[in-house]
Amino acid sequence: MNAITPVALLEPAPITLRSSDGLGWDGFAATLLSIRPGTYRVPAMAHHRISVHVGPPVRANCACDGRRTSRIQAHGDADVIPAGLPGMWTDDADCRFLRIAITDTFVRGIGEQIGVRADITPRLQWRDTRVQHLAAALGAELEAEDASDALYAESLCTALVVRLLNSSRDVSNNARTLAPRVAARVIDYIEAHLHQRLTLAELAAQAGLSVPHFNVLFRATLGVPVHRYVVQRRVERAKSMLLEGRCSASQIALDVGFAHQSHMTQWMQRLLGVAPREVIRAGKAAAALAGMRRR
């Protein structure tokens, strides 16, 4: 997906400051870009794109879908350009923006699940608080030293697409929590597949629900979002394995589903307040004490 992000096709060429390349995102991508003053053209693309202005205010003229606007772009202003539409923008100063590209397949999948037409309509200088928050969270993933699990980004992009489709449907479907047997099935599946990459689609399938509906009910049932629950379980399992002292920290990180050891360290410090080496030290101390008691 990241390979088709339209960075190289802009005129003048922008500077890529951050990119989601290598983060394991599937069906969508994000790029933080800086562009010099001037006029640039973006040809029609096979995917939808949302550009959110994240820098100081800039005076701009734009033309897309037969419409022309002259405006002051402020932080949080968004342009939504559907697949198949070209556009042209002129900025009078350096401009920084977050570009989110989403495949039509991803959008149509969400549309089918929530029962609405998967039509992305063009919007220029769109201000929407929810979109701003979702885009900011995706942008923060690009800035983070160690990004969260790809499941988190998928949750953010799913919510963004639901907003773009203007769905007013209540995804709760009159149900407030997962049925106990359904919750147990989902939790068992997570436990059995912690070492693998988990997606919202496969977890929702275990519950027999759409992804948006599943997201709502899972959080209501477990008290945390799906991605947070998964990472908590990975941290808890990693702690148990570190205390046993049978494998290296780097191997344990992979065995419980983290991308690498530093990713595990980041989450362990955030959730438990300790680093893996401190857990290992505690495990060795406990083993030594147990050995002394047996003598």
Say how many Å lie between the first and final Cα of the chain, rounded: 61
* Residue 217, token pair as written in the block: 């009910």
pLDDT for 180 equals 87
pLDDT (0 to 100) of residue 56? 85
**pLDDT (0 to 100) of residue 143:** 85
Grouping H, G, I as helix, E, B as strand and the rest as coil, residue 259 is coil
| Residue 217 domain-assigned (yes or no) | yes
Whether 173 is covered by a domain: the verdict is no
Contacts of 121 (CB under 8 A, 6+ apart): 80, 82
pLDDT reported for residue 11: 53
State residue 4's pLDDT score.
46
Question: Residue 169: inside a domain, yes or no?
Answer: no
Q: Which domain holds residue 279?
A: 229-294
Total domains in the fold of the chain? 3
Domain of residue 42, CATH code: 2.60.120.10
Q: Helix 200-207 and helix 211-222: axis angle, to 10°?
A: 80
Read off the pTM: 0.77
The H-assigned helical ranges of 18-149 are: 104-114, 129-143
Beta partners for residue 121, in sequence order: none
| Residue 151 and residue 254 in one domain | no
Instruction: Using the structure block, give the residue that is written with the tokens 């899972």.
Output: 218
Tens-digit pLDDT profile for the chain (295 aa)?
444 444 444 456 788 999 999 888 999 999 999 999 988 888 889 999 999 999 888 898 888 888 888 888 889 999 999 999 998 888 888 999 999 999 999 999 999 888 888 889 898 888 888 899 999 999 999 988 776 788 999 999 999 999 998 744 444 455 588 888 999 999 999 999 999 999 999 999 999 998 988 998 999 998 889 999 999 999 999 999 998 888 899 999 999 999 888 989 988 998 899 999 998 888 777 766 666 666 5
User: How far, in Å, are 47, 144, 146, 149, 195 from residue 266 at the CA level?
Assistant: 33, 11, 7, 12, 17
